[in-house]
Amino acid sequence: MTEDQSIKGSDKENQKSWLNKLANLFTDEPQNKDDLLAILMEAHHNALLDIDALNMMKGALKVADLQVRQVMIPRAQMVVIPLTSNIEEVLPIIVESGHSRFPVVGEDKDELEGILLAKDILKSFVKGEQDFDLREILRPAVVIPESKQVNILLNEFRTSRNHMAIIIDEYGGVAGLVTIEDILEVIVGEIDDEYDNHEDPYIMKISDKLYRVNALTTIEEFNEAFDSNFNDSEFDTIGGLVASEAGRLPETGEEIWVENLMFKIIKSDKRRIEFVQVDFS
């Protein structure tokens, strides 16, 4: 037997061994998620799963353990449309945000009137309707509690064909919103950049007076870490506080002053702030 034939034979034996383990997966169910993840990791190690497929499978398993409060867009970062808006006021909001669905509210975000689909208002614009009334084109809002399981909501999105749900807190106030895209990001993942290290702490020291802070850090945790005294009666997270101070969803690179601290947005997208840099100079 030649050396090449020996190597090929060894590869076949390794593949056969792994396939036997895979077959056992379906005959003897794994005892827990760790067992299943170990098999998936071995499949990747044996080049039967590429890294993207592995990460998607891990994301799908992760969804079952999450509640919607963990993936929602916080209240302060919601892009909403006031019910009294005319078509000239609504169109710039649609264009600038790039969203396709918008909560429509009364005097504040707790007065939820319904959901506006961008395609519905564009029909009115194309037709040149003079007596424009948002109430006539609103869709009913899907309202869910913060504690709802993400995998259950995803199934409901699929069966109902709704792509957005409004999340309420224990007191009945609007806590945020979640879209089907937010859930799919958990499964598929986003393209990582220099700020995406999921093992990093929520608060990371950069220098003596500079800190990188995850926008989902609660105001209570921030106050405790820095001996500050930001009010958390209206907003739960630092991202919500900064967005509220800006009066809109700030873009990457913007600097927002909150009292005596400067918050620089170091990562955001069209839906939320993700990371800020806090300057204590």
Would you state the pLDDT for residue 133?
81
* Residue 2: both structure tokens together: 């030649």
Domain assignment present for 227 = yes
Strand 143-145 versus strand 164-168 pairing type: parallel
Residue 276: pLDDT band with limits 50, 70, 90: very high
> Do 79 and 18 share a structural domain?
no
Would you state the pLDDT for residue 40?
78
More confident residue, 28 or 109: 109
Type of residue found at 94? I
Residue 235: pLDDT band with limits 50, 70, 90: confident
Q: Is the pLDDT of residue 66 over 90?
A: no
> Do 164 and 112 share a structural domain?
yes
Strand 81-82 versus strand 101-105 pairing type: parallel
Domain assignment present for 166 = yes
More confident residue, 160 or 9: 160
Contact between 240 and 272 (Cβ < 8 Å): no
Q: Is the pLDDT of residue 181 over 80?
A: yes
CATH number of the domain to which 245 belongs: 3.30.465.10
Residue 177: pLDDT band with limits 50, 70, 90: very high
Q: Is the pLDDT of residue 193 over 60?
A: no
> Do 97 and 37 share a structural domain?
no
Would you state the pLDDT for residue 35?
74
Domain assignment present for 34 = yes
**What is the tally of structural domains in the chain?**
3
> Do 170 and 125 share a structural domain?
yes
> Do 23 and 73 share a structural domain?
no
Domain assignment present for 196 = no
Would you state the pLDDT for residue 263?
94
> Do 166 and 73 share a structural domain?
yes
CATH number of the domain to which 102 belongs: 3.10.580.10
Mean pLDDT computed over every residue of the chain: 80
Over residues 138-165, the pLDDT tens digits come to: 999 999 998 999 989 988 998 888 889 9
> Do 120 and 173 share a structural domain?
yes
Q: Is the pLDDT of residue 169 over 80?
A: yes
Say what the pTM is.
Answer: 0.59
Domain assignment present for 93 = yes
The residues that bridge with 203 in the sheet, in sequence order, are 213
> Do 217 and 184 share a structural domain?
no
Domain assignment present for 193 = no
Would you state the pLDDT for residue 62?
77
> Do 210 and 184 share a structural domain?
no
Domain assignment present for 194 = no
Which residue from 231, 246, 240, 233 is spatially nearest to 273, judged by alpha carbons? 240
Would you state the pLDDT for residue 192?
46
> Do 225 and 120 share a structural domain?
no
> Do 267 and 220 share a structural domain?
yes
Domain assignment present for 14 = yes
> Do 184 and 76 share a structural domain?
yes
* Domain span at 94: 69-188
Q: CB burial class (10 A; 0-12, 13-18, 19+) of residue 12?
A: exposed
Mean pLDDT of 228-243: 86
Over residues 80-90, the pLDDT tens digits come to: 999 988 888 88
